[in-house]
Amino acid sequence: ALAAQRALVGTLGGSYHQVVGEQIPRALVDFARSVDATQLVVGVSRRSRLGTLVTGAGTSATVIREAGDIDVHIVSHSQAGSRALPTLGGALSMRRRIAGFALALIALPLLTLALSAVRSDESITSDVLAFQLAVVVIALVGGIWPAVVSAIAAGFLLDFYFVDPLFTITITEPLHLLALVIFVVVAVLVSVVVDQAARRSRSAARAAAESETLATIAGSVLGGQDALEALVSRLRESFGMASVTLRAHGDVLYAALDASAAANADAETSFPVGDHASLHLRGRELPASDRRILGAFLSQIETALTQRELRSEAEHMRPVAEADRLRTALLAAVGHDLRRPLAAATAAVTGLRSTEVDLSDADRAELLEAAEVSLDSLADLVTQLLDASRLQAGVLGVSLAAVALDEVVIGALDEIGLAPGDVELELRAMRPVEADPVLLQRAVVNLLANALRFSPIGSPPVIATSEFGDRVQLRIIDSGPGIPAERREDVFVAFQRLGDVDNTTGVGLGLALSRGFVEAMGGSIDAEDTPGGGLTMVIDLPASA
């Protein structure tokens, strides 16, 4: 056990010391002061109350007294006490019986010695009452057998030391025999009362323990903890079993083991739990009084197993639900955003084909341009939808190579068709990044188009680069309205158009696709505040070797 603790402390970055001293509490506190410790954690004593009474205060109590300004924390452990259910039955515990015999062995000789010193012919009545009181006290402590033994012994002590002729055991008077019988009857009657009180006390303790156990197992199922593990462990503790094992479909789900008792446990009892599970108890044979609370355990374990299966089915259905959500969003996008460019292109082509209207060359050129713009918009939209489907299916093709960021930025500016002054560039000499040039340029185009849309007039977006260790960052900075911190992740969700109130800005896939492209290349995209107001999109990529 100490070797395991030493290994655990080592994994946690701590140091392990063995302290030697004549007085353990004093040695522990002295060592704590020598290393400037501010807190001590001590396990609660394993000794019984009787052991503590005989040998004095335990280590933990002495440490608390000696620690002074050092905080002492007392923690419990499995050896500190049993949480098992109290056994039913009317007899007093073995400890009470032993205490009764010990009290009789000590009290009767001492009482005889004390009364002999003041004996007289007139004191026989008080002598009898004193012995009767001693018998009653012994009956209250130890029950019937110590009481009967002490009553018979008290009768003989009275006859030997206090009734003439002294120092002989003779019962010549019927009244003396009657007195002895009364001694025994009183002892038995008091013992019966004590036995009934012990029976009711133990029944009350059993009922309270069962109520606490039922509340615990119900809370285990309703709470967020692993209910099955908690139930199996609590079941072993409650019934004092050597081991409890829960099996489902032939496999062990959970097992609780008491290593100290497992070697002496041979009997194993199995109970079915639902249709496909079983509970195996190894240890003592359970009496009928324990089967009631065991039924509650089995019911709660079955409920927890059902919840486990439902959670597993829900996890399996989650991808299907996500796919349904994506399909619903795609249908909504197709239903509205595809209709607009299609309608514009159709109207332009219809106008060109019309023979009822005499179109000038300028009109024809305008209609052709409208058709071209609409078809380009339609192509871009279909490309985004296909890319989103590839990302969702995990089949996006990525070709990594060493890519210069300035070339990617210039390509994105050309693709958007920006004029001088539309963007400020702060491109420093950077190492190439490990990326797919096509996907990276598309991500930059999406982010830059978004920044242009929200930048106020006279404050163009800024594209800047920086390098930190083996990471290279590209920042696209705008001075627009910005996004609240709690909603920044929402802009990366597909089909979200945060802040847009018109229907001409696409289907809300740009930022979602950009993050998907960059993450597929081993990078990341995050949103930050722009000093002075606005939003900064940061593309972080690994530098090329």
Strands 277-282 and 243-248: antiparallel
**Cα–Cα nearest to 281, from 258, 302, 305, 306:** 258
Q: What is the distance of C-alpha 320 from the center of its chain?
A: 28
CA 499 – CA 492 distance, rounded (Å): 13
pTM score? 0.40
CA 194 – CA 188 distance, rounded (Å): 10
| Digit-coded pLDDT (tens) for 372-417 | 877 877 777 677 667 666 666 666 677 888 999 889 898 888 888 8
The average confidence (pLDDT) of the chain is: 78
Residue 73: in which H helix or E strand, if any?
A: strand 71-75
Residue 354: in which H helix or E strand, if any?
A: none
- Residues β-bridged to residue 498: none
Say what the alpha-carbon torsion angle 380, 384, 387, 389 is, to the nearest 10 degrees: -130
Q: What is the pLDDT of residue 47?
A: 67
**Cα–Cα nearest to 409, from 472, 496, 454, 457:** 472
CA 230 – CA 246 distance, rounded (Å): 12
Q: What is the pLDDT of residue 50?
A: 60
Q: What is the pLDDT of residue 502?
A: 45
Domains and CATH numbers, the chain: 2-80 (3.30.420), 94-201 (no CATH), 339-393 (no CATH), 401-542 (3.30.565.10)
| Digit-coded pLDDT (tens) for 254-268 | 888 876 655 555 678
Collapsing DSSP to helix, strand or coil, 425 comes out as strand
Q: What is the pLDDT of residue 215?
A: 67
| Whether the Cβ atoms of residue 539 and residue 525 lie closer than 8 Å to each other | yes
| Whether the Cβ atoms of residue 150 and residue 131 lie closer than 8 Å to each other | no
CA distances from 24 to 27, 65, 307, 532 (A): 5, 13, 50, 63
Q: What is the pLDDT of residue 56?
A: 57
Q: What is the pLDDT of residue 96?
A: 80
Q: What is the pLDDT of residue 500?
A: 46
Q: What is the pLDDT of residue 476?
A: 92
Low-confidence ranges of the chain (pLDDT < 50): 82, 88, 224-225, 499-504
**Cα–Cα nearest to 406, from 464, 467, 460, 445:** 464
Which residues contact residue 249 at a Cβ distance below 8 angstroms, ignoring those fewer than 6 apart?
276, 277
Rg of the chain on CA atoms, in Å: 44
Q: H helices of 23-67, where?
A: 24-34, 49-55, 59-67
